[in-house]
Amino acid sequence: MREPLTGKRFLFTVPFEVTGKIRYTEQIGQGMGRPDLNRRHVLGGLGGLLVAGSLGFAALGTGADALAATGRTRVRYWNLFSGGDGSNMIAMLDAFRKEHPDIAVKDSTLQWGSPFYTKLAMAAAGNRAPELGVMHMGRVAGFSPGRLLDPWDVDLLAKYGVRESDYNPALWQRGVIDGKLYALPLDIHVQLCFYRKDVLKKAGLLGDDGRMIPVTSTTEWFDVLKKAKQAQKKGLQTIGLWTNDQNFQWWFFVAFYTQLGGQWFNDARTEVLFDTDKATQVLEFFRQHVTDGYVIPGAPTGEQFINGAPFTWEGNWSVPVFSAAKLDYGATPLPPVFGRQATHAESHSFVLPHQSGRGGATNEAAHELAAYVVRHALQWAAGGHIPAYTPTLSTAAYKKLQPQNEYVSAMDHQATEPKVWFAGSTGILAQDLGPLVVSSTMGSAKPASVAQRMRNQLVKLLASKNPMDGKTAAQGGAVA
């Protein structure tokens, strides 16, 4: 070093030796010769306090659960809602608490995605499960119903005002496995076609009711895109398709494949019925958006829409985002370009994680809480979700919600993943097939060959065993 080795300077040049060894005499120089002992003492004291405080905190953090125990009936409730959904859920829980002071609800919000299911599975397996949990319906079949989940007591639910007749029958049946109800639907959330009314009006694509004109074929659809493109701001894409996102591409694929009447497996789950011709048709449809220049691959869809792109396909959870941005927009189910309505749908549902001693007051309170939230789900609709409890849909308050009232019909033509153990939100099926769809849409593989690869993958998955019980889909009996 060029600077003279004096005082503090010297001190910190010590470690700068290439050998990495600190000569000990220099250490003594520093250890004993420093004048500012007071500052060191202060720092030391502060450090000690910090460590002590942290220790106290750490002790509390593990013990907080025990502190909450009281004489009241206690329902532990695990959910995966944060952000806007989270505050809506908490508002509903608070309302429940006010009406039922005898029930103590201890809610824990966990991170959405695979870790949530992992943790729920571990807790149920280790008999440390909460009384009530939330799950995506597509995941139920893979969750060893009967082993990791307990069935609902339908009579008890009826006592608290929730009956099968209050539901869309197809939706209710998704929660039924081997004749028992394992998942009580709270909502359905769907993929939607969002459109900007200001742009569509200029392009002459709005009907008299102020909504987008209906589209019934691919030709009509591309015609609509062409007109919109002429009317839109330059430099933006015409439609957001999440071309490089494996989840969205997979969801869109499920929607349009269902529009074509495509099947996945036979009922016994022994045979793959996947139709590669139909799949190719869907993949070519996606690809055409890119080749015709309506999509800027990889451009962020929501941002583009807010900036003036006329269309974007998104989940209904984007409703609060676009409403907050004060856009003049509408939302319809994905256009039935193959002649038949179908849009991808998934549902949040309540489940009873397995407890060996399930029953009694806590179990009843769990039923009561779930029924309450299901029946008071109007607030839930603010997050864009469609309440599963149909009486809510016919209330005047719901009918006034914009644009929710425009896409509520999606409830009646849901496109869902097959009911097998490897399906479900962010499950293995989506994880394996999603990237294949993306590769076709992005143009790095031909649609026909991708369709064949998807089929091969389905054959492989059908033969594979569920790690939770060592059974294949055919042996699993997880069929309604």
Of residues 165 through 184, those in contact with other proteins by CB under 8 A are none
Q: Does 363 bind other proteins (CB under 8 A)?
A: no
Q: Which is nearer to other proteins, 94 or 303 (CB)?
A: 303
* Residues forming a β-bridge with 189: 346
Task: Name every residue whose Cβ is closer than 8 Å to that of residue 286 and which is 6 or more positions away in sequence.
Answer: 241, 243, 249, 252, 253, 437, 440, 441
User: Residues binding other proteins: what is the number (CB under 8 A)?
Assistant: 83
Q: Does 36 bind other proteins (CB under 8 A)?
A: no
Q: Does 1 bind other proteins (CB under 8 A)?
A: yes
Q: Residue 58: how many CB atoms within 10 A of its CB?
A: 10
First-residue to last-residue Cα distance in the chain: 78
Beta strand residue intervals within 278-421, DSSP E: 311-315, 329-333, 343-346, 348-353, 386-387, 414-415
- Token duo for residue 262: 């495509």
Hey, which residues between 2 and 21 contact other proteins (CB under 8 A)?
Answer: 2-3, 7-9, 11-21
SS3 77: strand
The conformation of residue 184, written as its DSSP 8-state character, comes to E
Hey, which residues between 461 and 480 contact other proteins (CB under 8 A)?
Answer: 467-468, 470
Q: Does 215 bind other proteins (CB under 8 A)?
A: no
Q: In the set 306, 410, 411, 420, which binds other proteins (CB under 8 A)?
A: 306
Q: Does 361 bind other proteins (CB under 8 A)?
A: no
SS3 21: coil
Q: Which is nearer to other proteins, 273 or 324 (CB)?
A: 324
- Token duo for residue 33: 């010769």
Closest separation in Å from C-beta 129 to other proteins: 11
Hey, which residues between 83 and 112 contact other proteins (CB under 8 A)?
Answer: 83, 108-112
Task: Name every residue whose Cβ is closer than 8 Å to that of residue 89 and which is 6 or more positions away in sequence.
Answer: 79, 81, 107, 373, 380
- By CB atoms closer than 10 A (0-12, 13-18, 19+), residue 435 is middle
Q: Which is nearer to other proteins, 295 or 371 (CB)?
A: 295
Site string for other proteins, 412-441 (x = CB under 8 A): --------------xxx--x---x--xx--
Phi, psi dihedrals of residue 192, rounded to the nearest 5°: -125, 160
Q: In the set 36, 99, 164, 303, which binds other proteins (CB under 8 A)?
A: 303
Hey, which residues between 119 and 148 contact other proteins (CB under 8 A)?
Answer: 119, 121-122, 124-126, 148
Q: How far is CA 395 from CA 136, 172, 234, 389, in A?
A: 26, 21, 42, 11
Q: In the set 275, 297, 471, 479, which binds other proteins (CB under 8 A)?
A: 297
Q: Which is nearer to other proteins, 101 or 467 (CB)?
A: 467
Q: Which is nearer to other proteins, 21 or 98 (CB)?
A: 21
Q: Which is nearer to other proteins, 210 or 443 (CB)?
A: 443
Q: Does 296 bind other proteins (CB under 8 A)?
A: yes
Q: In the set 95, 104, 231, 321, which binds other proteins (CB under 8 A)?
A: 321
- Token duo for residue 106: 């201890």
Q: Does 450 bind other proteins (CB under 8 A)?
A: no
Q: Does 382 bind other proteins (CB under 8 A)?
A: no
